[in-house]
Amino acid sequence: MKLNLALAQINTKLGDVDSNLAKHMDYIQRAKSQKADLLVFPELSLTGYVLQDLVASVAHKPTEDDPVFKPLLQASRDLDLVVGFVDEDSRHRFFIASAYLSGGKTVHVHHKVYLPTYGLFDEGRFFAWGDSVRAFDTRFGRVGMLICEDFWHASPPYLLWLDGADIMLFSSASPGRGLNDRDRLESAHWVERVIKGYASMFTSFVAHANRVGYEDGLHFWGGAALFDPNGEEVVVGPYNEEAITIAQMDLNQLRRTRARLPLLRDERTALIRNELDRILSRD
Amino acid sequence: MIDINLSINTDLAREILAGFIKSEITRAGMSRAVIGLSGGIDSALSCALAVEALGKENVLAVRMPYKASSKDSLDHAQLLIDQLGIPNKTIEITGMVEPLFKLDPQITKMRMGNIMARERMIVLYDQSEVFKGLVVGTGNKTEILLGYSTLYGDSACAINPIGDLYKTQVRQLSRAMNIPAPIIDKAPSADLWAGQTDEDELGFTYEDVDKLLYLLVDQRYSPQEAVEAGFSEKFVNAVATRVRRNQFKRMLPPIAKVSNRTVGYDFLYLRDWGT
């Protein structure tokens, strides 16, 4: 089975959801015309990233009756979509969220579980922490979604792997930092290295959609990427400019790789549980 | 001394910084920039980056000499203007600042320097309105950290593309962008009085202080660790104190909080709000 994946690295208008939605619809058309089966947008693609006090005013619910999600859900009848937004729960907690939309339905919503609140980041001040990491079934197999800092920690991708995800879809709004004499920023190096590492260690497909553009002095670097279950790069998009990057996932590669390298088969989950229980119960 | 490499990928720096200028000026609803061209390297680099971002017809270079300014400053600014082929104006500030100088016979060089820096700010912001362009800043990371600028004077700007580059990195990027050699090679100077140079006034070289600041700021070394890395204790302490004492120049003035929602504390939006 083959899956045509499209990764949208877009710039956004900060706090202008209608304008960002229009750009989503445009990219959806472009992805459709290139026969994409699945289109992944970056973190907070409908709102912009450094929202601060704008958070409450840009929140939406991924339901049919929401004016922003209605056209997106409609579009998901033609191709599956991952969009980034601010989710508000029934008790008015606000989450950084990704929604997987397919066949006119919201299949899964992930709330970011790690909110960086250090250095240039201040997410914990404005958002609630997500409290679950779950894989979910799609027409392409079992998928997991994570948002930026979620995959700076090793445990969320690991949990998704154990929960059955063979395709990991990561999205980011990653501010570029660490300019030195190398060919790309330290932050870009770091992200590419860990994504490649997850694909290798979990013998899975790992895709990453990162935004571009600026918010005040912050610059987002793009570089959408897909790595295959051998940890090999399938595609890396351009840096620092808007683009739609298309790559084909040959899902049969999962079988070929895992026949050669049975890391999943040999994973000692009971051992991990025992040791975690011991570590966590320590005084 | 440990090995400290401050060199940067100049192609990447150029792309990010020109992109920043274009993005931030466009989002403010403008398409043009105004830059005070001193004849020195910082304003030359900001100007070249603005030209790369906006096109040469959209960048106004303003030279603002005082009667005691060195002729080299004017000539070097002209070299860059000619090379870039940009609109330019020369507005002498002598007649504007002299009346103020004359009010006080006790006036010091430092006060005169600050008055000149602030007068130039007034001229630039006025030209900003005439040219319909935003004032692009020219302060580098070294001078911002050391507080080596006049508050509301040369530090005043709408956006600053080079404020995260140390002076030595400004030199590297300037070479890559073909800034005329006399501008790159001369001793950095605020040119507020004859013979003034930055390095004399600061008491150390940019080469040395950039490496120290890189350890203290970027690499989060403690002063003690910087001494162990090979810098003299006196130098480390002098620089660390200078950085601390000049924090006020890097911030908006604090507002005394009395209400439930106060600008600067809990009324938080980026400048790019809504754009």
Instruction: Provide ipTM, 2 decimals.
Output: 0.93
Contact B26, A186 (CB under 8 A): no
Q: What is the mean pLDDT of residues A6-35?
A: 98
Other residues' Cβ atoms within 10 Å of the Cβ of residue B223: 17
The reported pLDDT for the residue numbered A282 is 81
pLDDT per position as a tens digit, A129-156 = 999 999 999 999 999 999 999 999 999 9
Q: Which amino acid makes up residue B136? A: V
Task: Please tell me the distance from the alpha carbon of residue A125 to that of residue A50, in angstroms, as a whole number.
Answer: 12
Q: Does A183 contact chain B (CB < 8 Å)? A: yes
* Overall CATH class of domain A2-281: alpha beta
The burial of A158, by beta-carbon neighbours within 10 Å (0-12 exposed, 13-18 middle, 19 or more buried), is given as middle
Contact check, Cβ <8 Å, A216/B269: no
Residues of chain B with Cβ-Cβ distance to A223 below 8 Å are none
Residue closest to B213 by CA, chosen among B188, B189, B238: B238
**What pLDDT band is residue A157 in, cutting at 50, 70 and 90?**
very high
Residues 89-128 of chain A with CB under 8 A from chain B are: none
Could A214 and B23 be called an inter-chain contact, meaning their C-beta atoms sit closer than 8 Å?
yes
B10-67 residue pLDDT tens: 999 999 999 999 999 999 999 999 999 999 999 999 999 999 999 999 999 999 999 9
**A283 band by pLDDT with thresholds 50, 70 and 90:** low
Average model confidence (pLDDT) across chain B: 97
B174 and B192 Cβ atoms separated by less than 8 Å:
no
Nearest-angstrom CA–CA distance, A187 and B194: 45
Residue type at position A96: I
Disruptive mutation site among A18, A121, A214, A221 for chain B (greatest number of B CBs within 10 Å): A214
Residues in chain B with CB shorter than 8 Å from the CB of A215 are 270, 272
B275 and A CB contact within 8 Å? yes
